[in-house]
Amino acid sequence: MKIGDILLENNIFLAPMAGVTDSSYRIISRGMGAGLVTTEMISAKGLYFRDENTKRLTKIDPRENPVALQIFGSDPEIMAIVTEKYINPRDDIQFLDINMGCPAPKIVKNGDGAALMKSPSLVRDILREVVKVSNKPVTLKIRMGWDKNSINGIEIGKIAEEEGISLLTIHGRTRDMFYSGKADWDYIKKVKESLKIPVIGNGDIFEPLDAIKMLEYTNCDGVAIGRGAMGNPWIFKRINNLLNGIEDMEPSENEKIDMAIDHLNLLCNMKGESIGVKEMRKHISWYLKGMKNSNTVKNEINSIIEKNQMINTLLEYKLELN
């Protein structure tokens, strides 16, 4: 599919997730066939005030391309300055994505993320100012609305279209649902029917067939996978295989353990052993989910502080399974 002048390999995307979609996991997901990957959401104010931790989140590896850098914020002027000063000069970023869907309390209490859906006029101001200065296609991530009494995703989508947004991703939940209940695919379908720009559906894609069903049911232009990709980068390859008439194959337990080791090595190379090992604990828990005696291994992994010990524990578990 094409966004702006950029042609993507396919329409199966990795959704941004704080603490999950760092550079190492974006590399893995691209290697597994994700057509586009997106950074963890990055504070525009953090970049504006030159916060070093925020700046680190913007690091991109060439193996990730094409990649969207996602920012959040509610000050149109700061969003525009950050776009012009910090994002435009970078050739390693293909798209700028704006987050107006994050439900986290610490984000919405500042009027950012999903809180912006309560202020359509401010949404318009932000999008107008960013699109005006951006030299990259600007995309937008939203939810259906703030709560069941203020569902306005179609209204926000139309504002986005009018202000020159190149693509809209819609999560089929309101902010107050967080990730509970079922994603409303009917609403995703309505958004798609209401707009001319590409619409990407997001919510409740945990198996390859879920993506096929969403594409067929909503007629959306692609899907973005978040929680369904945690510990499961194969989902991108499997969906693409199904779309291309190739038989679906689940990864074996050996493949999952091997991928966990590769991921660990990549993470440690990028962030150093101490941080890499700690951050890898949650990923290993996701990779091993549902496997025999995995809880025992997870408990052991959670107390390990050295990379080689973590690798040896995984290799021993692999032998035990075989």
Do β-strands 42-43 and 67-72 pair in parallel, antiparallel, or remain unpaired? parallel
Q: What DSSP state is assigned to residue 117?
A: G
CA distance 148 to 156: 15
Dihedral pair phi/psi, residue 37, rounded to 5°: -120, 155
* Residues pairing with 202 in the sheet: 171, 224
Amino acid at 101: G
Q: What is the pLDDT of residues 104-123, one digit of tens each?
A: 999 999 999 999 999 999 99
Establish whether 102 is a catalytic residue. yes
Q: What is the pLDDT of residue 88?
A: 98
What domains can be seen in the chain, in order of their start residue?
Answer: 2-243 (3.20.20.70), 253-321 (1.10.1200.80)
Q: What is the pLDDT of residues 29-78, one digit of tens each?
A: 999 999 999 999 999 999 999 999 999 999 999 999 999 999 999 999 99
Q: Indicate which residue of 102, 142, 230, 310 is catalytic.
A: 102
Positions in the chain short of pLDDT 70: none
Q: What is the pLDDT of residue 4?
A: 86
HSE-CB of 11 using CA atoms within 13 angstroms: 22
Listed in sequence order, the residues at least 6 apart from 12 whose beta carbon sits closer than 8 Å to its beta carbon are 33, 34, 35, 211, 222, 223, 225, 236, 239, 240, 243
Dihedral pair phi/psi, residue 170, rounded to 5°: -120, 120
Q: What is the pLDDT of residue 77?
A: 98
Q: What is the pLDDT of residue 299?
A: 94
Please answer whether residues 41 and 102 qualify as being in contact, where contact means their C-beta atoms are separated by less than 8 angstroms. yes
Dihedral pair phi/psi, residue 12, rounded to 5°: -110, 110
Q: Closest Cα partner for 95 from 171, 2, 230?
A: 2
Q: What is the pLDDT of residue 322?
A: 86
CA distance 60 to 68: 10
